[in-house]
Amino acid sequence: MGEVLNNWENGRWIGQTLEVENGVCAVPSKAGIKDLEYNDEVKEATDHLYDEVSDFIPKFEWPAYAPLVHAINTLKKEKNAVILAHNYMTPDIFSLIGDFKGDSLGLAIEATKTKADIIVQAGVHFMAETSKILCPDKTVLIPSMRAGCSLASSITGEDVKLIKQRYPGVPIVTYVNTSADVKAESDICCTSSNAVQVVESLGVDKVIMLPDEFLAKNVANQTDVEVIAWHGRCEVHARFSAQDVRDMRAANPGVVVLAHPECPPEVVEESDFTGSTKAMSDYVGDHKPNNVILLTECSMSDNVAMANPDVDFVRPCNLCPHMKRITLENIHECLRDEVHEVKVPKSMQKKALRAVQRMIDLPPPAEKGHFDPLAAHKPIKVI
Ligand code: SF4
């Protein structure tokens, strides 16, 4: 990583190129709220919700949000629909219209328990596919078909078939951040919460872990199992560097640094705690640090901050451009017109379900899925 400041300049975060209008929530466009008014009915139905998001939405902008929030919540009842809101959604979506909130797998598991006919995935495409894999009889919609993922697009099912030819007999452990065709070619899936447990559950000396190179390296540092990695990266977490952490500590003495395991191993080493989005959120709730930094997607800090008003957050802002394609406007359109349905071919769904279900059937991890920052770094093969 060197001594170069990649993402900070004169104490200002410069790592992010995507700007979101008006801070963390982009005010809905006039086109998006056409025909929707902030009238007495909307006021009565929504004004009590404003307090939850008052740190993120200026009061004078509330009349632009409230009609959409009301229209979406009304449509959900009319159509027996639920919205699965990922931790990386902006607070307007996460807090005001999300029925289930959490990480991608937690959301998909919640989806299996709901009696709703329609699932709207407020997240990215692979998450909607995972919901469809687990709930093949429900209609799964995604507000923007352009909401992709740099990890999921780094590998295809055809790539996995070639890997299996090259490494016969070596189990393929696939992160849930992959498309359905990749899951269908895999032996078992994992999340960032249970990746070490999944690798060790197989009882083998060697596994191939797809597609996140940094997650694979971080897992390899925690286990005796040999891990072979693919060269995919999360474009959000890969941006953080060890030097960033040192700079943040220097600028914020005493701050507690929490990192996601999609960050490079050098970042994990510099952090106080590394775990999944749920593990990070639980850490803040359980430990109530005075001052904390979450090295992950920007909106996650906003959403965890809402639940922990007594904790100060330092907020380096790396936005995921894919997650930020989901807005109140396109959620409204998608549900109103029932467009952008996500489908998975039946044979692929069955094969992918086997890999996902094998993971779900494991007992919960003993530890809350966190990574020891002091573990020795091991060189691993990246294919
Ligand atoms: S944050 Fe990273 S892993 Fe998550 S959707 Fe964005 S690019 Fe993919």
Domain boundaries, the chain: 23-147+323-337
Q: Is 34 left (phi over 0), alpha (psi -120 to 50) or beta?
A: beta
- Ligand 1 centroid distance, CA of 39 (Å): 38
What's the confidence (pLDDT) of residue 368? 57
H-helix segments, 144-212: 157-166, 180-184, 195-201
Return the residue whose CA atom lies nearest to atom 6 of ligand 1.
320
Kindly give the distance from the C-alpha atom of residue 348 to the centroid of ligand 1, in angstroms, as a whole number. Answer: 23
Is the pLDDT at 24 greater than 80? The verdict is no
pTM of the model: 0.91
**Ligand 1 atom 8: residue of nearest CA:** 149
Question: Exposure of 358 by Cβ count < 10 A (0-12 exposed, 13-18 middle, 19+ buried)?
Answer: middle
| Right CATH for 23-147+323-337 from 1.10.760.10, 3.40.50.10800, 3.40.50.300, 3.20.20.70 | 3.40.50.10800
Ligand 1 centroid – CA 25 distance (Å):
18
Cβ < 6 Å from ligand 1: which residues?
124, 149-151, 177, 234-236, 297, 320, 322-323
Centre of ligand 1 to C-alpha 323, Å, is 7
| CA 289 – ligand 1 centroid, Å | 26
Question: C-alpha 25: how far from its chain's center?
Answer: 17
Query: Confidence band (pLDDT; 50, 70, 90) for 367?
Result: low
pLDDT level of residue 316 (50, 70, 90 thresholds) = confident
- Nearest Cα to Cα of residue 51 among 59, 61, 40: 59
Question: What's the pLDDT tens digit per position in 235-265?
Answer: 999 999 999 999 999 999 999 999 999 999 9
Pocket perturbation via mutation, ligand 1, pick of 89, 90, 150 by most ligand atoms within 8 A of CB: 150
